[in-house]
Amino acid sequence: MSTYREWLLQTWNLVRRELRDSLRDWRILFPIFTMTLVFPLLMRHATGYLETSFYERWGAEGVEIRLLPLMLLLVGFLPISVSLVIALETFVGEKERLSLEPLLATPLSDLQLYIGKLVASLLLPWLAGATGIAFYMLILQSGWRPSAQVVLQVLLLTMAKALVMVSGAVIVSSHTTSVRAANLLSSFLIVPIALLIQGESLMVLYYGYSILWYVFLFLIVANILLVRMGLRLFNREALLGREIDQINLLGIWQMFRRHLTWGWWFFGWPRDRLPRSLRWLGTLCGLYGKEIPAVMRRSRLGLLTTLIGLLGALWIGREFALRFPLPAEYLPLNRISEGTFQNIPAIGFLPAFTFWGVLGNNVRALLLAGLLGALSFGSLAVVLLMVPFSIIFYLVFPVAWAGYDPLVFLGTFILPHGVLEIPAAVIATALAVRLGASFVAPPHGMAVGEGWIQALADFVKVFLALVVPLLALAAWIEVAVTPALVLAVYGQ
C-alpha cells in the first residue's frame, strides 16, 4: 500500500509542477479566461438575437429552445481547446526549453510521466469548460433551463472531447522535434472534434438528446484507443534521441520489400535436391505453406474481430427483419426467370452481371475496406463487411416467413460462390483491421512505422496471392453457376 501511495504522490508532484508552470504563463491563462467568461456573453447575445428577431420573423418561435443545448456544447468546447496547446507543449516544448532531460532523469517511470503530463494538460481546460457552461446557464435570459440529464451529457461530452484531444496531442508532442511541427499536426486533432460538434447539432435536432449517449460512448472508445497507443509508444530514450524529422523513402521501400518477401520451402527438402526447372515450386510452397499461415497467425485478433462483426451483422439483420418486415409479394422467388439476372445492371448501385463486373466490384470493395481500416483503427473495415451480410440476413427471415426453405435459399443464391467469396472477404477484412490496429498496438520490438509497414506488406501479399484468386473463381461461379442453380430450383 505504501508503494502504491508513493507512486501516486510522485505522479501528483509532476502534475503540480505542470500546473504551476501553466498558471505562470499568461499566454495560456488569457485565452482560458476569454473563452470561459467572454464567449458565453457573446453566445447569450446571439441567443437573444435569434429569439427576438430571426425566429419571430420567420414564424418559428421556440426553435431556439432546441438549439440551447448545442450552445452549451459550443461554450464548453472552446475553453477545452486550450488543452490542445498545453498538451502539445508537454514534451516537445520542454525539449526546446532544454528542461526535458532533467525531467527524464528523475526516478519517475514512463507510465508516471505519461499519466502526469496527461492529467496536468486536462485539469485547467476541464475546469474552464465546466465554468463556462455554468456561467452561460447563469446569464441565460430565456425561460428554458436544461434538465439534469442534459447538463450531465454536456459535461461528460466536454470532458471526453478534451481527453481525446489531449491524448492525441501528447502522442504528437512525444513524436515531433519542434513546437512548430506539433502545432501543424494539431489540425488533425481539432478538425475532427469540430466536425463532431456539427454532427451533434444535426443528431440532436433529428433524434433528440438521447443520441448524445452514443456519441459519448464513441468518444470513450476513441479515448481508450488513444491512451493505449500513447502508453505503448511512450519511450524516454526515444524522446532524447529524436533530433530531426525526415522521410527516408528509400529506407521505407527497403523495409517494405523485406517484409514482402518470404523464405523458400519445399516440405523440408534442400533446394539443391530439386532440379533447377522445379525450384520455383519451393517459392510457391513457401508462400502458401509457410508465409500465408504465418500472416494469418499474426492477424488472429483481426480475424476474431471480423467474426464478431459477422455475428453483429446477423443480429442487425434479424432486428431489421422484425421491425421492418418485408411483405411476401416482394419476394416472388417462384417467378424468377433468365430475364431477372439480365435486368440486374438496371439497378444503379449494382455492377454489371459479368465476370469482370463482379470481380472488379468485389476487389474495389475490399481495397476500400483496407483504406478505411487504416484510417479508423480497423473499425470501418468491419462495418463495411457487415453491411452486405446484414442485408443477406435481413432477407433470410422474410424468406422463411413467406413459406420458403431458408437453407435452400442460402444454398442456391449465396453458397455456390459464397464458399469462396466469404472466406476471401473475411481474410481481407481481418488484414485491414490489423492494418489499422497496428497504430495502436504495434508488434513487440517494432516501432509504429515498421509495424504498420509489416501489416501493409502482409495485406498486399495475401490480397494478391490468396484473396484475388478466390474472388476470381467466386465471380466466375456467381455468373456462370449460381443463376443456373437458382433457375433450376425456383425458375418457371
Q: What is the pLDDT of residues 69-90, one digit of tens each?
A: 777 788 888 777 776 777 777 6
The residue among 192, 166, 158 whose CA lies nearest residue 72 is 158
Long-range CB contacts for residues 242-247, cutoff 8 Å, separation at least 24: 242/175, 242/177, 243/177, 244/177, 245/176, 245/177, 245/181
Q: Where are the domains of the chain?
A: 2-241, 299-490
Which of these, 111, 136, 170, 134, lies nearest to 48 by C-alpha position?
A: 136
Please give the angle made by the CA atoms of 459, 311 and 229, to the nearest 5 degrees: 50
d(CA 114, CA 110): 6
Q: What is the mean pLDDT of residues 312-329?
A: 84
Helix axes 379-401, 300-323, angle to 10 degrees: 40
Supply the pLDDT for residue 113. 80
- Cell digits of residue 80: 477545452
Q: Would you state the pLDDT for residue 4? A: 78
> Any idea how long the chain is?
492
Over residues 90-95, the mean pLDDT reads: 64
Model confidence, pTM: 0.74
> What pLDDT was estimated at residue 463?
96
pLDDT tens per residue, range 55-71: 555 555 555 556 677 77
